[in-house]
Structure 1
Amino acid sequence: MTKITLLDGGMGQELIRRSGEAPTPLWSTQVMIDHPGMVAAVHADYRAAGATVHTTNTYAIHRDRLEGTGLEDRFADLTAAASTEAQGSGRIAGSIGPLIASYRPDIHPAHDIAVPAYAEVAALIAPRVDLFLCETVASVAHARAVLAATLPLGKPVWLSVTLDDEDGSRLRSGEPVADVLEAAQGASALLANCSAPEAMAAAMAAFAKGNLPFGAYANGFTQITKDFLKSKPTVDALSARRDLGPDAYAHFALGWIDQGPPSSVAAARSAPPISRGWRSNC
């Protein structure tokens, strides 16, 4: 029997919905500043919905993302607050999102710049998490950098890649997903996220050729296009798919589970009663 691990659901969009405020480029980080305790409430609801892995709201808390916001000196405080609000039953996954921007392997920093930047975040959240969840990894170089930053801390590292929405056998960089298998040496699991659910099956097929547990958690939005990425987008720039309710998403997730061998961990995401399809700040 396949062992299934149920992740929590989207944080960023749910925070915007609950706050009732217009989103900003800081997304869920800004909501956390303006509404202390709201992140903890979302985590509590995901626990009630059956999630057993709870992801810290640290996806976008990087020094480079805070530049020019007036919040540069709150980097450590925000990281600590997000880690604290995630505490409770189940495993705590420390989210580490991409530097600079999501879906943009073309502007990801060079290895010697990226590794210390990721390592700083990892060291700050390490005392309060059970594992690291490196999310929306868009290239092999990105994978190598974030693994070099996190593996030395001795906690399990789950590496989650983002796919070409039209060809799930490729990363956003255009590189084959299969190339990640070699780069992921030392990781404890391989996942795919921040991608269309239709793209996931091809990635699962590639993951199945390796020896790591694997899984997926998909976007609930229309495809991420190159035009969408030209500026710093906010949640209101995204269009939710009307054909992807809980039942349709569950159908996709069951397909991903079927692709896994008995030793796999199939990572889905809890849907009801929370809004679907968006993790942190992809």
Structure 2
Amino acid sequence: MTEITLLDGGMGQELIRRSGKPAAPLWSTQVMIDMPGLVAEVHGDYADAGATVATTNSYAIHRDRLRGGDSNHYASEGQQMPDREHQFEALHGAALAEAQSVKNRSRVAGSVGPLGASYRSDIHPGFNAAKPLYAEVAKILAPQVDLLLFETIASLDAARACLEAGRQTDRPVWLAFTVDDEDGSFLRSGEPVSEAAIIAADADAVLANCSAPEAMPAALDALSKTGRPIGAYGNAFTMITKNFLEGGTTAADLQAREDMTPQTYADHAMNWVEMGATIVGGCCETGPAHIAEIASRLRASGYAIV
């Protein structure tokens, strides 16, 4: 019987829906201070849906994202962001504490999101600058998680920095790449996923994430060459276009796809499993219902969810 690891789904959009707050830069991070327990509630609902991995709500907890003023890439035009860098350690502690609520039912993956901004390889710092910043986060998370999940990696340089940073801990390192929505054989940077696979061959698992579900088969085909466990967790955004990549920085600028129902998304996920993926789940704009549908399909098809 083939064993499948079932990840959870999106956290940020789910928190916006449940909190009743408008989408805003860093809201899904600040919510842990303003509304403690809400993240744990989401973790619990994903575990109830069948997820066997809980991903910490630490994706955006980077010093550059928390830093206020014009230097923050998440500031809207003409808007000064408050400086929250002093909360760096406290926010990581809150994310870890919220995830512990499902520790008895799920493995915990320490989420490390991209520096700069999601999808934007053009504003990601160079390898020498990025590696110690990723390592700082990895070392904070490692003692309380089962694995490190570096997410939404958009370039080869970022992949190298993430992998080397993760290897400074004793936890398994999973690398998740974001790929072009129109052609999943390329990263958001325009570099081939086949080259990312060469780097990822030294990781413990390699995935494609936060991209259109339709782009995942091409990405998985390239990543399968690593010889490592492969997987995918797509988003349910409308297409992340080249124009967005030239200037967009937040999910608030993107729209949800009305056609990506739990049933439709599960169709994609089962296709990834048939291609050899042993790790599947959901990313932005997927929720507990999407994960529950995947779990149901996996069990009906004779897979063991581990």
- Structure 1 residue runs of 4+, over 4 Å off? none
Which residue does the alignment assign to 1:239? Answer: 255
Alignment pair present for 1:223 and 2:239:
yes
1:78 is matched with which residue: 67, 73, 91?
91
Counterpart amino acid of residue 38 in structure 1: L
Rounded to whole Å, the distance in 2 between the matches of 1:233 and 1:227 is 13
Rounded to whole Å, the distance in 2 between the matches of 1:225 and 1:83 is 33
- State the secondary structure of the residue aligned to 1:199: helix
Alignment pair present for 1:11 and 2:24:
no
Alignment pair present for 1:171 and 2:163:
no
* Gap change, CA 1:198 and 1:99, over 3 Å in 2: same
Rounded to whole Å, the distance in 2 between the matches of 1:274 and 1:258 is 18
Q: Normalising by the residue count of structure 2, what TM-score does the alignment of the two structures yield?
A: 0.85
Which residue does the alignment assign to 1:151? Answer: 167
Counterpart amino acid of residue 208 in structure 2: A
Structure 1's unaligned 5+ residue stretches are: 277-282
Do 1:99 and 1:114's aligned partners in 2 also have CA atoms closer than 8 Å? Answer: yes
Do 1:14 and 1:274's aligned partners in 2 also have CA atoms closer than 8 Å? Answer: no
Do 2:208 and 2:234's aligned partners in 1 also have CA atoms closer than 8 Å? Answer: yes
Rounded to whole Å, the distance in 2 between the matches of 1:152 and 1:99 is 18
| Superposition deviation, residue 239 in structure 1 | 1.4
Structure 2's unaligned 5+ residue stretches are: 69-81, 293-306
Q: How many residues align?
A: 272
Alignment pair present for 1:27 and 2:27:
yes
* Gap change, CA 1:272 and 1:42, over 3 Å in 2: closer
Which residue does the alignment assign to 1:202? Answer: 218
Which residue does the alignment assign to 1:122? Answer: 138
Which residue does the alignment assign to 1:53? Answer: 53
1:142 is matched with which residue: 149, 158, 163?
158
Alignment pair present for 1:162 and 2:178:
yes
Which residue does the alignment assign to 1:190? Answer: 206
Rounded to whole Å, the distance in 1 between the matches of 2:254 and 2:155 is 23
Rounded to whole Å, the distance in 2 between the matches of 1:214 and 1:84 is 28
Counterpart amino acid of residue 6 in structure 1: L
Rounded to whole Å, the distance in 1 between the matches of 2:57 and 2:288 is 19
Q: Normalising by the residue count of structure 1, what TM-score does the alignment of the two structures yield?
A: 0.92
| Superposition deviation, residue 49 in structure 1 | 0.6
1:132 is matched with which residue: 109, 125, 148?
148
- State the secondary structure of the residue aligned to 2:184: strand
Counterpart amino acid of residue 250 in structure 2: P
